[in-house]
């Protein structure tokens, strides 16, 4: 009996999350109430609060259905990162592009994250979680770029403080642009070309070297 109740609770929670995807994608995150989500899920408002503290908690649980490159990095071994950090960076982002290109639910959730989260007072906690996620993603890129410099895969005088936000912003921008206009082509194929072009730019562009090293030349 206890097992059945637990399974029913899990199914209710997933139904609420499914409804939240639909509501947030159609109406944004700030405006809809939990009552609207409850009605679409076929449960009471109290049932929603039985699983989630508030809208921010529900939104956070929603994003956990998508695995980002920084989270995927945790599955890599320390030896993989040490041996080929640039290859790890490339493979993680290509993996994400491939997953998004074929997973409609991931597309909807990412559209909510990128394009449906209005920056209003009521969504302050949600905004803070997005900022935290962005900071964590940037830090993961920094770790891999730094390791790639140490490994000799990237120039020793690379200006890491310039490269890291540029690289992360470009890759996130690829996702955002494709979600707005998926008709531009297959994300997996486009993502691979963009990724390789970015790596070539980081490797070869003199403007991405530290200023002190440029002045010394």
CATH topology of domain 66-207: Tetracycline Repressor; domain 2 (1.10.357)
**Euclidean distance between CA atoms 57 and 80, whole angstroms:** 34
139 DSSP assignment: H
CATH 1.10.357.10, the chain: domain bounds: 66-207
Quick check: helix, strand or coil at residue 9?
helix
Structure confidence by residue, pLDDT tens digits, 8-67: 889 999 999 999 999 999 999 888 999 999 999 999 999 999 999 988 889 888 888 887
What pLDDT is attached to residue 114?
Answer: 85
CATH topology of domain 1-62: Arc Repressor Mutant, subunit A (1.10.10)
Contact 175, 100 (CB under 8 A): yes
CATH 1.10.10.60, the chain: domain bounds: 1-62
**Euclidean distance between CA atoms 67 and 168, whole angstroms:** 16
Quick check: helix, strand or coil at residue 31?
coil
What pLDDT is attached to residue 20?
Answer: 95
What pLDDT is attached to residue 18?
Answer: 96
| 143: enclosing H helix or E strand | helix 124-151
| 55: enclosing H helix or E strand | helix 55-63
Please report where in the chains the tokens 């405006």 appear, as a residue.
31
What pLDDT is attached to residue 197?
Answer: 97
Low-confidence ranges of the chain (pLDDT < 70): 1-2, 69-74, 119-124, 213-217
Structure tokens at 1: 């009996």
């Amino acid at each position: 009996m206890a097992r059945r109740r637990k399974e029913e609770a899990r199914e209710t929670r997933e139904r609420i999350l499914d409804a939240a995807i639909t509501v947030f994608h159609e109406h944004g995150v700030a405006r809809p109430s939990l009552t609207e989500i409850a009605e679409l899920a076929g449960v009471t408002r109290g049932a929603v609060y039985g699983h989630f503290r508030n809208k921010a908690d529900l939104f956070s649980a929603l994003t956990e259905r998508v695995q980002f490159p920084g989270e995927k990095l945790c599955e890599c071994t320390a030896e993989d990162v040490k041996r080929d950090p640039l290859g790890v960076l490339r493979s993680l982002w290509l993996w994400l592009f491939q997953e998004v290109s074929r997973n409609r639910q991931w597309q909807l959730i990412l559209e909510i994250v990128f394009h449906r989260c209005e920056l209003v007072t009521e969504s302050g906690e949600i905004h803070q979680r997005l900022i935290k996620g962005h900071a964590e993603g940037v830090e993961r890129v920094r770790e891999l770029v730094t390791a790639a410099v140490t490994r000799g895969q990237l120039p020793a005088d690379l200006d890491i403080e310039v490269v890291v936000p540029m690289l992360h912003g470009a890759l996130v921008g690829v996702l955002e642009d494709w979600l707005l206009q998926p008709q531009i082509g297959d994300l997996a194929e486009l993502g691979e070309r963009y990724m390789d072009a970015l790596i070539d730019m980081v490797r070869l562009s003199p403007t991405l070297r530290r200023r002190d090293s440029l002045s010394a030349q």
